[in-house]
């Protein structure tokens, strides 16, 4: 079964736009679980423009499903993850000012750095995932660095999908086979939606997890959160 992890960053963005605590990030996360989500993803950035460190601490003891924390492994982020101990940490190569994750790691160039960071998290009993492109070498070096999983950056798939499904998914299928052959778990995320998720899943049915935020929260404005989560779950069947 491929698990659906709901990224709630956009909920925090809405809250922060007016100050205060509406919508309440913890309540939305718990509602996502109640409505069928298999996990919750957060990406605390240094400027706390959406998810705050305090949100991460608040969420950890209350969630009943898997908690995934994404971020660039700067010292402050490493300290947060080691204190909170989510079920999974996903390492992304974002700069502090970056709007959103828009590329995978160069795992070959950063092998020594990633190896050190991944070892620290693995020793703490936290499953590790590294955000990568479909490039074979990047996946191989993620495995060499000690990652438990890779997360495929799926924006290129989403962009190419309207022009041709088969061509869009082909490099991801090959990358998924390479990851499986190396003994890596497999996650995917970025711009997956109700339009393109089912086709992706049908071609890579051994996916462990998809992490979806922006499209899902946008769909919830029209469909409601409960129905939206069920629609996404239906795409993974």
Q: Which of 33, 50, 66, 70 is catalytic?
A: 70
Is 190 exposed, middle or buried, given 0-12, 13-18 or 19+ CB atoms closer than 10 A?
A: buried
How far are the Cα atoms of 50, 68, 168, 192, 222 from residue 24, in angstroms, in the given order? Answer: 12, 19, 37, 25, 19
In the numeric block, which tokens belong to residue 189? Answer: 């995320």
Strand partners, 3: 209
Residue 33 exposure: Cα atoms within 13 Å on the Cβ side: 15
> Would you call 226 a catalytic residue per the annotation?
no
Instruction: Write down the catalytic residue from 33, 43, 50, 140.
Output: 43
- Distances in Å between the alpha carbon of 14 and those of 11, 23, 42, 219? 5, 7, 14, 15
Catalytic annotation present for 64: no
86 closest CA partner among 106, 70, 108: 70
- Residue of 33, 66, 140, 190 marked catalytic: 190
Q: Is 190 a catalytic residue?
A: yes
Q: Which residues are catalytic?
A: 43, 70, 190
């Amino acid at each position: 079964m491929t698990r659906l992890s709901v990224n709630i960053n956009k909920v925090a963005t809405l809250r922060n736009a007016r100050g205060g605590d509406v919508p309440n990030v913890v309540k939305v996360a718990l509602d996502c679980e109640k409505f069928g989500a298999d996990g919750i993803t957060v990406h605390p950035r240094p400027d706390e423009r959406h998810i705050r460190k305090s949100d991460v601490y608040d969420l950890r003891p209350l969630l009943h499903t898997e908690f995934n924390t994404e971020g660039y492994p700067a010292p402050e982020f490493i300290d947060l993850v080691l204190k909170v101990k989510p079920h999974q940490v996903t390492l992304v190569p974002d700069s502090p000012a970056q709007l959103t994750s828009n590329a995978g790691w160069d795992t070959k160039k950063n092998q020594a750095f990633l190896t050190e960071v991944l070892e620290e998290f693995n020793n703490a009993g936290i499953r590790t995932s590294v955000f990568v492109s479909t490039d074979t070498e990047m996946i191989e070096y993620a495995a060499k660095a000690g990652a438990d999983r890779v997360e495929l950056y799926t924006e290129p798939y989403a962009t190419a999908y309207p022009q041709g499904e088969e061509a869009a998914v082909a490099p991801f299928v090959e990358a998924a086979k390479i990851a499986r052959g190396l003994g890596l778990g497999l996650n995917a995320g970025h711009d997956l939606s109700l339009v393109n998720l089912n086709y992706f899943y049908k071609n890579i049915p051994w996916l462990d997890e998809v992490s979806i935020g922006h499209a899902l929260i946008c769909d919830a404005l029209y469909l409601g959160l409960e129905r939206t989560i069920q629609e996404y779950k239906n795409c993974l069947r």
